[in-house]
Amino acid sequence: MPPVRPIVLLGPTAGGKSALAVELAERLGGEVVSADAFQVYRHLDAGTAKPTAKERARVPHHLVDVVEPTQRFTVRDWLNRADAEVQRLVPAGRVPIVVGGTNLYVRALLEGLMEGPDADPAFRASLAAVPDAELHARLREVDPAAADRIAPADRQRTVRGLEVFHLTGRPLSGHQREWSAAVEPPYRHDPVLLALRWEVPAINRRINARVKAMFERGLVEETRRLEAAGLLGPQAREAIGTKQVLAELAKPKPDLDAAQEQVKIKTRRFAKQQRTWLRRFAGVRWLAGDQEPEALLAGALAAASG
């Protein structure tokens, strides 16, 4: 009997990865491991495209709804849990099907985390009394790319960016660019990499439809409720959808149609980033995402066993 190999299923958001993962898990005797930075949060439901209750009833899903939205959840937190799931499933003859999702999570699973310099307690102590806004302004001076990516309220990541520059003389974003230049075998866990390919107009139509459905499912009400209860931490409030709705609700006269358009734009940009990132992965077996479901499943099964 051939050894069990994990499957990593990649592709743009709204491209049908979750549905295909469930079909593969049923056929192969597998379980789904989410590699999505926002599906980990409980209560963040309307905008995160979590697997449905029916999908979860069909096959086990992991790393969905594991922490409160007030909590910080790092790439290392996710990797530790994902590694544990893979190491539990493979010896039991179960196929882990990792669905991404968040590119950095997938990269960490395949290659491990980028090892930066150790923490400098004295430097961190020197920043303890500095307000968040000033820290973020300092980060923007030395590493604009990191400042664009890190929320001003995310003090821990802001301090880490300043710390890396202090210790190495180089911005954190520069270290990360070197680390992310290419993704090549041998990969950790020896997985099969499958990816769904979509033409841009087709995936954009799917994204627009998904965003419309998110608002119809109550994204605005969910966001308003969580914010009023103080349940949106610095990371959770950065989720596409949640972030744009929060910005609109903060205005004297919120325009929720405008918020929906912004979510569509941001999601399409995210899908473009995913496509760009995917080109860095070597050894990917590509599948046309717009096939009929039966043909797509047959192609995925053949690619996974080939």
Q: Is 213 annotated as a binding residue?
A: no
CA angle in degrees (0–180, nearest 5) for 30-34-36: 165
pLDDT digits (tens, 9 = 90+) for 168-219: 999 998 887 776 666 677 899 999 999 999 999 999 999 999 999 999 999 9
To the nearest 10 degrees (0 to 180), the angle between helices 256-278 and 242-249 is 150
Q: Is 13 annotated as a binding residue?
A: yes
Q: Is 11 annotated as a binding residue?
A: yes
Instruction: Flag whether pLDDT at 301 surpasses 70.
Output: yes
pLDDT confidence tier of residue 149, bands split at 50, 70 and 90: confident
Q: Name the residue among 207, 206, 241 with its Cα closest to residue 222.
A: 241
Instruction: Flag whether pLDDT at 75 surpasses 80.
Output: yes
Residues 6+ apart with CB under 8 A from 27: 297, 301
Q: What is the pLDDT of residue 151?
A: 82
Q: Is 17 annotated as a binding residue?
A: yes
40 near 66, Cβ under 8 Å? yes
Q: Does domain 121-176 have CATH number 3.40.1190.20?
A: no
User: Per-domain residue ranges for the chain?
Assistant: 7-113+181-305, 121-176
Q: Is 218 annotated as a binding residue?
A: no
pLDDT digits (tens, 9 = 90+) for 78-97: 999 999 999 999 999 999 99
Q: What is the mean pLDDT of residues 105-120?
A: 87
Bond from prior residue into 186 cis (ω within 30 degrees of 0): yes
Q: Does domain 7-113+181-305 have CATH number 3.40.640.10?
A: no
Q: What is the pLDDT of residue 1?
A: 67
- Considering the entire predicted model, what is its pTM? 0.86
Q: Which of 1-10, 20-29, 64-73, 237-246 has the lowest mean pLDDT?
A: 1-10
Q: What is the pLDDT of residue 140?
A: 97
Give the Cα separation of 45 and 49 in Å (integer). 7
What percentage of the chain has pLDDT greater than the value 70?
98
pLDDT digits (tens, 9 = 90+) for 134-144: 999 999 999 99
